[in-house]
């Protein structure tokens, strides 16, 4: 039976502008968007009506970069730069995920937060611990949302309590992938996850690249987030022309779908490699501010045809809300325009919303819009705690919701055509 969602539809057909349909009828057939009807008389065959008259109905949002294992300490330790933050706090906290009681509580909370949010697809790091990573995948599977989860790999530049040997890292990764196949997850999928070049030896990186290629697994990591980090990579990889080239030389660059988080300092160093059709940039403006890494050239990337979406980067970022990422991306682009590079221009709300929906959704497939044939991933928003909306256009209502709605409430969520709540 088809599902028809009635409400005020707002979505992007392209990255430049929002399209709005008041009292629209969004038809969903076999998990796909089947068009927008003018009336119920146009429906073919039996259908179920989800009547959300007067509510905003939008494509679900996508988080291309987070650390599920850091969610329990988001909002803390924000007085340090990246490398010091990792050493003094993050690695210590992530090492605690060897404890089953601790990781079940932490990952259940992470999954509950995502379930209640407007996020329908998430790409996230776990820790080096195989069993904890599998539990995270189970927890996310139960939410009904789409996810890619990575067992983290680290064999250098980490404390003894949170570091693997090269052989152990490979062995545990292969065991984890085999367990994923046995459990036959439908919604939560594995992604190969070298933390970043500073924490992965050349041998480990090359062998992970081989696993990704042979199993056609996607890859996620970090790129050019912080200047000290970039300098460290130059010291560790003197043969490489850039941070991105270090990944390329080790077989981890764009051979399968790849997410590289941040790319704050990539514009002048690695444009050519970032243009690879398989590489997605996860723009994480809140984290880049909190860890004072810099201001990524998101508008430049968007204007020049790069694959780019948004990432919460919890706990570098302080919220899992992708609406928060939308507004932070706009603010960051203003600062970049004023303080760094005016030729990059300013992000509009439509462009930031595009990155949160179709831009990031493209990593998951044909997702992120109400275009016919796209996967039917939809959320219905609750505006009751905002100000009067009757005098606003539908795009204005959505923009104000992104900026001011407390908790940014979600009434309904649909993933692959299935009504979750």
Q: What is the CATH number of the domain that holds 384?
A: 2.30.40.10
Range of the domain at 220: 61-361
Candidates 81, 55, 190, 172; CA nearest to 136 is: 190
**pLDDT over 70 at 228, yes or no:** yes
**320: number of Cβ within 10 Å:** 23
Distance CA 63, CA 357 (A): 9
- Whether the predicted pLDDT of 138 surpasses 70: yes
24 and 66 assigned to the same domain: no
DSSP SS3 for 45: coil
Query: What pLDDT score does 391 carry?
Result: 85
Same domain assignment for residues 353 and 299: yes
Backbone angles phi, psi at 301, to 5 degrees: -60, -45
Domain endpoint, select from 361, 377, 409: 361
CATH number of the domain enclosing 189: 3.20.20.140
Residue 406's pLDDT is 65
Q: Is the pLDDT reported for residue 385 higher than 70?
A: no
In this predicted structure, what is the pLDDT of residue 51?
98
On whether both 291 and 162 belong to a single domain, the answer is yes
Residue where a domain stops, chosen among 339, 361, 383: 361
Confidence check: pLDDT of 384 > 80 = no
Q: By the 8 A CB rule, do 321 and 408 touch?
A: yes
Q: Which of these, 197, 211, 283, lies nearest to 248 by C-alpha position?
A: 197
Sheet-wide strand order for 146-150? 61-67, 119-125, 146-150, 188-190
In this structure, is the dihedral angle defined by the CA atoms of residues 61, 64, 69 and 73, taken in order, positive or negative? negative
Co-location of 161 and 15 in the same domain: no
Residue 353, H or E segment: helix 349-354
* CA dist., res. 354 & res. 359, Å (int): 6
The answer to whether the CB of 17 falls within 8 A of the CB of 6 is: no
Domain shared by 278 and 380, yes or no? no
309-365 pLDDT, tens digit each: 999 999 999 999 999 999 999 999 999 999 999 998 999 999 999 999 999 999 999
**The pLDDT of residue 383:** 86
Overall number of domains in the chain:
2
Give Dmax over CA atoms of the chain in angstroms: 67
For the ranges 57-66, 269-278, 332-341, the lowest mean pLDDT is seen at 269-278
One domain, residues 374 and 327: no
Asked whether residue 294 carries a pLDDT value surpassing 70, the answer given is yes
pLDDT at 405 over 80: no
Question: pLDDT-derived band of residue 387, with 50, 70 and 90 as boundaries?
Answer: low
Report which of residues 388 and 47 the model is more confident about.
Answer: 47
User: Contact at 8 Å (CB) between 303 and 351?
Assistant: no
pLDDT at 268: 79
pLDDT in tens, 200-211: 999 999 999 999
309 and 400 part of one domain: no
For residues 219 and 76, state if they share a domain. yes
Do 332 and 296 meet the contact criterion of CB atoms below 8 Å apart?
Answer: yes
How many Å apart are CA 103 and CA 188, to the nearest integer?
18
275 & 226 share domain: yes
Segment 293-311 shows an average pLDDT of 97
388 pLDDT more than 70: no
Q: Which two tokens stand for residue 207?
A: 């062998």
| Cα distances (angstroms) measured from residue 123 to each of 5, 38, 51, 68, 265 | 27, 36, 31, 9, 22
Cα 399-405-407 angle, rounded to 5 deg: 130
Q: Pick from 184, 289, 270, 157: which is nearest to 223 by CA?
A: 270
Length of the chain: 421
Give me 151's structure tokens. Answer: 């067992």
Who contacts 146 (Cβ-Cβ below 8 Å, separation ≥6)? 120, 121, 122, 187, 188, 364, 377, 415, 416
Token representation of residue 404: 């001011």
The DSSP code for 179 is H
| Residue 269, pLDDT above cutoff 90 | no
Same domain, 24 and 105: no
In this predicted structure, what is the pLDDT of residue 250? 96
Do residue 288 and residue 380 come from a single domain?
no
Q: How many CB atoms lie within 10 A of CB 236?
A: 16
Provide φ and ψ at 43, rounded to 5°.
-65, 140
Beta bridge partners of 193: 152
Same domain for 194 and 224, yes or no, is: yes
Q: What per-residue string of b and e applies to 339-369 under the rule 16 or more CB within 10 Å gives b?
A: eeeeebbebbbbbbbbbbbbbbbbbbeebbb
Where is the domain boundary, 361, 383, 401?
A: 361
Mean pLDDT for the stretch of residues 241-265: 97
Portion of the chain with pLDDT greater than 90, in percent: 93
User: Nearest CA to 350 among 305, 398, 295?
Assistant: 398
């Amino acid at each position: 039976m088809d599902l028809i969602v009635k409400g005020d539809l707002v979505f992007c057909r392209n990255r430049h502008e929002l399209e709005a349909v008041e009292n629209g009828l969004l038809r969903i057939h076999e998990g796909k968007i089947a068009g927008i009807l003018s009336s119920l008389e146009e429906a073919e065959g039996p259908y179920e009506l989800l009547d959300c008259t007067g509510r905003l109905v939008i494509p679900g949002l996508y988080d291309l970069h987070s650390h599920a294992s850091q969610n329990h300490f988001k909002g803390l330790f924000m007085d340090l730069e990246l490398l010091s933050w990792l050493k003094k706090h993050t690695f210590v906290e992530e090492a605690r995920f060897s404890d089953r009681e601790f990781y079940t509580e932490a990952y259940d909370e992470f999954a509950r937060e995502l379930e209640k949010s407007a996020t329908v697809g998430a790409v996230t790091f776990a820790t080096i611990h195989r069993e904890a990573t599998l539990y995270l995948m189970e927890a996310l599977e139960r939410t009904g949302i789409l996810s890619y989860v990575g067992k983290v790999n680290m064999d250098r530049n980490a404390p003894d309590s949170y570091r693997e040997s090269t052989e152990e890292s490979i062995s545990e990764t292969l065991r984890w992938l085999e367990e994923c196949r046995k459990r036959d997850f439908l919604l939560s999928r594995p992604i190969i996850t070298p933390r970043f070049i500073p924490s992965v030896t050349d041998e480990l990186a090359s062998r992970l690249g081989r696993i990704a290629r042979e199993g056609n697994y996607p890859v996620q990591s970090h790129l050019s987030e912080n200047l000290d980090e970039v300098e460290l990579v130059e010291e560790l990889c003197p043969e490489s022309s850039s941070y991105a080239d270090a990944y390329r030389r080790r077989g981890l660059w764009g051979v399968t779908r790849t997410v590289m988080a941040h790319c704050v300092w990539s514009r002048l160093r690695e444009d050519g490699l970032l243009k690879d059709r398989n590489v997605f940039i996860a723009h994480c403006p809140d984290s880049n501010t909190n860890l004072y890494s810099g201001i990524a050239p998101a508008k430049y990337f968007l204007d020049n045809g790069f694959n780019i979406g948004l990432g919460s980067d919890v706990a570098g970022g302080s919220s899992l809300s992708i609406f928060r990422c939308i507004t932070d991306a706009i603010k960051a682009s203003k600062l970049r325009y004023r303080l760094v590079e005016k030729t990059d221009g300013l992000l509009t709300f439509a462009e930031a919303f595009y990155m949160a929906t179709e831009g990031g959704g493209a990593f998951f497939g044909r997702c992120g819009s109400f275009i016919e044939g796209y996967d039917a991933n939809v959320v219905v928003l609750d505006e009751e705690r905002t100000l009067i909306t009757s005098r606003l256009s539908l795009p204005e209502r959505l923009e104000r919701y992104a900026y001011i709605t407390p908790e940014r409430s979600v009434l309904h969520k649909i993933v692959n055509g299935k009504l979750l709540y």
